[in-house]
Structure 1
């Protein structure tokens, strides 16, 4: 969801830039959006390439209801992804507030 918002914002900024010459604020925001997009992709690849948990953890998870395990794994995955991209999203938010 957040990625979609920033993509739409980036597209809007790009449309404005074609109508007039870009200024330093435009370049600053665009660079922060690019940094966030790169971080998002980097973090996504990192989470996809993680190794599987060891067998003891898998055995403990088998004892729990499947729905609880799915919720836990999805929540953990999202939290790890957000923690990875946190510096870039913070810088982007700060840049938007400043400008």
Structure 2
């Protein structure tokens, strides 16, 4: 049975730490209080889905784009708390899919 790579586990753990301590997506979310997502489970779920859908690994399971996956999740968070923020490029269906 295949398991998640240490690289992916580390990227997910780091992303979770940054979400929890309010420092995910810097500088995009710098100074923005996004703590409301902890009161709205579907918003937090969507941020994690975007991170997981966007992240890529090579054949050895080494994460290749953790910062980009984080940034895309941060763009969602920013759009969730700031109605005037426009995500560029717009999310594609596969990025926001909930599996």
TM exceeds 0.5? no
Q: Which of 1 and 2 has higher RCO (CA within 8 Å, sep 6+)?
A: 1
* Category of TM-score, reference length = shorter chain: 0.3 to 0.5
Report the TM-score when normalising by structure 1. Answer: 0.32
Larger radius of gyration: 1
Report the TM-score when normalising by structure 2. Answer: 0.32
